[in-house]
Amino acid sequence: MLEVEGLSAGYGLTFHLGGISFSVEAGSVVGVIGPNGGGKSTLLKAVAGVIPMRGGAIRLGGRPLQRRDGGLAFVPQREEVNWDFPVTANDVVLMGRYRQAGWIRRLDGADRRRAAEALERLGLAGTGHRHISQFSGGQQQRIFLARAIVQEPRVVLLDEPFTGIDQENREVLHEVIAGFARQGVTVLMATHDLDEVAATTTHVCCLAGRLVAFGPTASAYNPETLRATFGGQLAVFA
């Protein structure tokens, strides 16, 4: 079970996000939605430990969230990756094994096999030696999904994963998310793709600087909560 209790996070004097509380069973897929500036990315980055928490607590399985065991996987937005960095697809996937390998120690053959298997599972078999800039946008995302898979995480954070990908890669992403859920991995996904929220999530977390609504997608995801979350910005439900 993932529990977020009274979470406040943000930089400087203003809180971008305050008083967020919710909890979900392991294996849930949570769609984090809301207007731009509503705090979707802030929530993900606070859970990831990138933005300092100003208050509150995050618990996983009843214990304070530990990041050092590699149990938390973050799949960044495409724009946030330095595609010029001299690493191959394999190098990137292997980063998912760094914490398991530990400080100073090098990766071993088992780690490499695992990375190759993950790339193969995502339809990138035999391309591990290529530089990351030599892949298409959708393939690049699959490399980072493979990295999350080899991490054997308990929580996966996806930041706008559906942005700018085509149908084929969309299906791969659906499979990966479903695979995580089957294995009891909790997925937190920030997205503005509301069709995908309906299709892939078990829960929705509606943010507008505060928690507007939280609940199972089947009941909480409705025109009223969307109107409350987005204000007048969402013409479809007006």
Calculate the alpha carbon distances from 51 to 6, 17, 45, 190 in Å.
16, 11, 6, 16
- 1, 6, 11, 55: residue in contact with other proteins (rule CB under 8 A): 11
Site string (128-157) toward other proteins, x via CB under 8 A? --xx-xxxxxxx-----------------x
From the list 16-24, 81-89, 173-181, 193-201, the region that binds other proteins by CB under 8 A is 81-89
The phi and psi torsions of 145 (rounded to 5 degrees) equal -65, -40
**Smaller CB distance to other proteins: residue 94 or 212?**
94
- Binding of residue 53 to other proteins (CB under 8 A): no
**Smaller CB distance to other proteins: residue 91 or 215?**
91
Which distant-in-sequence residues (6+ apart) come within 8 Å of 168 by Cβ?
A: 138
Side by side, which strands form the sheet with 211-216? 72-75, 155-159, 186-190, 29-33, 203-207, 211-216
User: CA-to-CA distance for 22 and 153, rounded, in angstroms?
Assistant: 20
- 27, 54, 127, 194: residue in contact with other proteins (rule CB under 8 A): 127
**Smaller CB distance to other proteins: residue 86 or 232?**
86
Contact set for other proteins, span 173-212 (CB under 8 A): none
Question: Which H helix or E strand runs over 212?
Answer: strand 211-216
- Binding of residue 170 to other proteins (CB under 8 A): no
Location of structure tokens 């999904």? 145
**Smaller CB distance to other proteins: residue 101 or 234?**
101
User: CA-to-CA distance for 135 and 147, rounded, in angstroms?
Assistant: 15
Location of structure tokens 């690049």? 140
- 63, 104, 195, 238: residue in contact with other proteins (rule CB under 8 A): 104
The phi and psi torsions of 158 (rounded to 5 degrees) equal -115, 120
Enumerate binding residues for other proteins (CB under 8 A). Answer: 11-12, 45, 48-50, 66-68, 70, 72-74, 76, 80-88, 91-92, 95, 98-99, 101, 103-104, 106-107, 124, 127, 130-131, 133-139, 157, 164-166, 168-169
